Amino acid sequence: MPRRYYITTFGCQMNKADSERMAGVLEAMGLEPVAEPDQADVLLYNTCTIRDNAEQKLYSYLGRQAKRKHQNPNLTLVVAGCVAQQEGEQLLRRVPEVDLVMGPQYANRLGELLEQVWSGSQVVATEPLHIVEDITKPRRDSTVTAWVNVIYGCNERCTYCVVPGVRGQEQSRTPAAIRAEIEELAAQGYREVTLLGQNIDAYGRDLPGITPEGRRQHTFTDLLYYIHDVAGIERIRFATSHPRYFTERLIRACAELPKVCKHFHIPFQSGNNDILKAMGRGYTRERYLHIIDTIRRYMPDAAISADAIVGFPAETEAQFADTLDLVATVGFDQLNTAAYSPRPNTPAATWPDQVPEAVKEDRLQRLNHLVATVAADRSQRYLGRTEVVLVEGVNPKDPTQVYGRTDGNRLTYLQGEIEALRGQLVRVQITEARAFSLSGEPLEPLPRTPAPLAATGH
């Protein structure tokens, strides 16, 4: 009987993409997925260390599975991702039943690491590693949309963030390798790709070449032009952007390229300049607002989402009010919010004037209330309009409905059969507009662009 595996994924889109790659490795080794963790012979936790609660949840899960391992010594426990990179051997000392600890950069080397484990070794793989072009085939969780990593790591030094320490230095994939992966996805029937990077605007900074105009030969803007004409791919999204590097040239490209979705995820983190400086973000409130104004000058209906942190060390009530004001001024379609959480090996974690938890929780609730109010108001512009929705799956709460997303990334529900509509671009007349989702009546699917028969290796 073949070994069976189960992967639990915490955190961001980068982690979800890494989990797909690791699932692909496991299935290439002959392992089969199972529906429940207690059915698995190989149990892998792909971890996130951005927030302390995700880290504590991991240790809770590990405690339960450690007991199970005493009853089943053949169970293989793997901790991958950012907590693994951060903790290294410390994790083994805390939970000695774990067999393999591996950082994010080792995702495509999972197979060889497991072979070492099954040969009798307990393995820690967290040393810095140059990421060679990944030839593994991810096991995609969707048959319609797919993640495509374009740059790994991060060179920023935000004072609250552990990412540079756990994901390493920036490493850009070559444009040819990225295009080849997208062409293969198109040949498999995928309709949409999301280009991923911890700081995607930094793409190409580490690649050689200067243009005659004196700029870098490879930028994220150039990459969008290079991949845009892949036949069969109807939509291109990207995340996450950094305001420090978000240029008017990139905005203009997004306006010019019809496949690039008019949705921008640009974290601002705080609306106060002193807090932004303490965070090490490298831009001001005024610079952020200029970016938003420029986007709306080129694309008036563009959807804007972001991330924000409340309760950063020494944040005053007046400084928090600047964040509330920025949210109201911009009018975000969606905002991911979090109370500041001190993370290991980050400068801000050791600073005095940490904001009390009760104050952070109060500010978070007030911000979330405003976010919901603003998002609901933004949603009203969709009422009565016809939107094009890419159908992805079945509404888990109503099997007579399917769901998909608009160009602006609004989750939208409509009546229909998934067998007929999955992967279709459908015109939908919007009849209900909630804060973070829409409902509508389907009109008709759009003609489907034929996909290439096989990847061309452009």
Indicate the number of domains in the chain. 3
Residues 294 and 401 in one domain: no
Domain presence at residue 238: yes
Per-residue pLDDT at 147: 87
Residues 160 and 283 in one domain: yes
Residues 152 and 101 in one domain: no
Residues 115 and 173 in one domain: no
Residues 339 and 392 in one domain: no
Highest mean pLDDT among 110-114, 120-124, 229-233: 229-233
Domain presence at residue 139: no
Residues 343 and 435 in one domain: no
Domain presence at residue 214: yes
Residues 375 and 387 in one domain: no
Residue 357 has pLDDT above 90, yes or no: yes
Domain presence at residue 447: no
Domain presence at residue 458: no
Domain presence at residue 69: yes
Residues 392 and 364 in one domain: no
CATH number at residue 189: 3.80.30.20
Domain presence at residue 241: yes
pLDDT confidence band for 362 (50 / 70 / 90): very high
Detail the residues annotated as belonging to a binding site for [4Fe-4S] cluster: 12, 48, 82, 154, 158, 161
Per-residue pLDDT at 67: 86
Quick one: tokens of 33?
A: 């997925």
Residue 216 has pLDDT above 80, yes or no: yes
Domain presence at residue 413: yes
pLDDT digits (tens, 9 = 90+) for 11-58: 777 778 888 889 988 998 889 999 998 889 999 999 887 666 667 888
Residues 264 and 280 in one domain: yes
CATH number at residue 420: 2.40.50.140
Detail the residues annotated as belonging to a binding site: 12, 48, 82, 154, 158, 161
Residue identified by tokens 């300049």 is 273
pLDDT confidence band for 134 (50 / 70 / 90): low
Say if CB 456 and CB 431 are below 8 A apart: no
> Which of 68, 90, 125 is where one domain is finished?
125
Residues 168 and 309 in one domain: yes
Q: Name the more confident of 437 and 341.
A: 437
Residues 313 and 402 in one domain: no
Range of the domain at 113: 4-125
> Which of 379, 403, 418 is where one domain is finished?
379
Residues 290 and 437 in one domain: no
pLDDT confidence band for 70 (50 / 70 / 90): confident
CATH number at residue 40: 3.40.50.12160
User: Cβ–Cβ contacts within 10 Å for residue 379, how many?
Assistant: 19
> Which of 72, 95, 125 is where one domain is finished?
125
Quick one: tokens of 93?
A: 């000392």
Per-residue pLDDT at 454: 47
